[in-house]
């Protein structure tokens, strides 16, 4: 059975809306997802496969988590990106056995 992609998620008690769209851009580059902390929004590129959308959602949710935890200010942007990629890979490994 196919899951319905969530329209919202909750991270550490904070509800975020999840919107799908096209043409997402960050710092002049086209991206698959964006996290807007102030607006409590995660944007997902809708042209992705369903599996990729979930991976992007995990990745962007991790960005939000790092901000809430205050870790985004203690690490560089490239380290932040690496952490998000590692956590997404970790969840993918867990999915295979759960």
Q: What is the CATH number of the domain that holds 18?
A: 1.10.10.2910
66 is a domain residue: yes
Determine the average pLDDT of the residues in 22-36.
95
**What's the confidence (pLDDT) of residue 23?**
94
**What's the confidence (pLDDT) of residue 2?**
72
Q: What distances in angstroms separate CA 16 from CA 2, 43, 47, 57, one per listed residue?
A: 22, 10, 21, 11
Tokens representing residue 2 in the block: 């196919």
82 is a domain residue: yes
pTM exceeds 0.85 for this model: yes
Tokens representing residue 38 in the block: 């102030």
41 is a domain residue: yes
Number of domains present in the structure of the chain: 1
Which of 5, 66, 2 minimizes the C-alpha distance to 37? 66
pLDDT reading at 16 higher than 90 = yes
Which of 42, 86, 22, 12 minimizes the C-alpha distance to 75? 86
Residue written as token pair 């990106």: 81
The band of 1, judged by pLDDT with boundaries at 50, 70 and 90, is low
């Amino acid at each position: 059975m196919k899951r319905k992609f969530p329209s919202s998620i909750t991270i550490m008690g904070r509800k975020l809306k999840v919107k799908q769209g096209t043409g997402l851009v960050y710092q002049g580059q086209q991206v698959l997802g964006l996290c807007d902390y102030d607006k409590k929004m995660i944007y997902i590129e809708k042209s992705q496969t369903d599996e990729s959308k979930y991976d992007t959602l995990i990745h962007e949710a991790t960005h939000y988590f790092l901000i809430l935890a205050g870790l985004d200010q203690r690490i560089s942007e490239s380290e932040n990106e690496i952490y998000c990629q590692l956590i997404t890979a970790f969840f993918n490994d867990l999915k295979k056995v759960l």
